[in-house]
Amino acid sequence: MVIRILTGKDVAGAFRYNEQKVEQGEAERIQVANYPDNEKAQKYARFRLQLLEQYARLNPGIQKPSVHLAVAFHPKEVVAVDQLQAIGGEVMREIGFGKQPYLMYQHYDTKHPHIHVVSVAVDAEGRKITDTFIKNRLQKVRRRLETKYGLVQAERTLPSKVPGRVGEVLGIEQQSNRLTVDEKVKSTLETYSFGSVNSLKQYLSCEGIVMNTKAGRSQSGITYQHVNPVGADNRPIKASSLPSRPTHARLTELFSNREDQHKKECRAVESLIEKRLALYRSLTETEFKQTLRQLSIEIRETDGAYLYISNQTRVVIYEAELEKQLSRAVLVKNF
């Protein structure tokens, strides 16, 4: 038996990874534990995730509230569901998470039987559950459970083949990151309309997603990368490998089909801004942003330029798509 634990910043990422496996028929949710209403949690995905996120918000100072555990068995072992539940529950209790809300999944996507457990490292009082010497504690738990349940011992069969991180063992980290990026890009395109790949790129940069484009004579490619506030946090992901496939070709076609409509939307937003500016002799940059907010137009700065977001018409406009006098460089001179 092998036990690995992965902690992370994104509780939702670990949750979505397992839930998508269930939807794809590659996993089954076999236990919901320590929820106020376990039956309701088993039935409603939103309820399952909300409680975990609520716990995480109780202590914003904890950098990595997400807990994602994997317990893998020898390929020749046949482990019944009730035994998987018992083993998973014992592991959680032994490492201090026994009273935490958690979700247990049985996966069928590899040759060896294994379960995943998703929980959170913040308790109901907002205290951090210690992970001190967690690897040593997991090893002790593993040895005890191997003896108790007569399981194949990891030292005799697996150490040279099993990497040290659960993300490397079962692809959890990469897959949850892929789902997080895909959901963000997909929801952005469903919520707002854009006029170009560049305006989408500028918007996503404000949302913590770096979008890199590579143009060539024969083909053009896009990668997406989830970043944290201080820099790159994950590997770039090819657009073609994301479930929604937001590739350069697809985006170009999408924006091309809406080109005429987008131009009309740009002119409408431009007119609103110019009419509002005409009411003032002078404005500071802060006042400019505040007065546009009254029109449901939000301004974000990206690479020294303005990005206008109309929350009323759901359109995102890069300053280059408007008259030059509405660019940040020109406006700042007049503030």
pLDDT at 176 over 70: no
pLDDT single digits (tens) 112-126: 889 999 999 999 999
| Integer Cα distance of 88 and 170 in angstroms | 17
Specify the pLDDT at position 295: 94
Q: What is the pLDDT of residues 37-96, one digit of tens each?
A: 999 999 999 999 999 999 999 999 998 899 999 998 988 889 999 999 999 999 999 999
Q: Where are the domains of the chain?
A: 2-170, 184-257, 259-334
In this predicted structure, the answer to whether residue 165 has a pLDDT above a threshold of 70 is: no
Taking the CB of residue 133, how many other CB atoms lie within 10 A of it?
Answer: 11
pLDDT of residue 174: 65
DSSP per-residue letters across 44-104: -HHHHHHHHHHHHHT-TT-S--EEEEEEE--TT----HHHHHHHHHHHHHHTT-TTS-EEE
Of the pLDDT bands very low, low, confident and very high (cuts 50, 70, 90), residue 288 is very high
Alpha carbon distance 34, 124 (integer Å): 11
Q: What pTM did the predictor assign? A: 0.57
2-170: CATH topology is BirA Bifunctional Protein; domain 2 (3.30.930)
- C-alpha triplet 298, 304, 308: angle, nearest 5°: 20
Is the pLDDT score of 197 beyond 70? yes
C-alpha 237, offset from chain centre: 13
**pLDDT top residue among 28 and 16:** 28
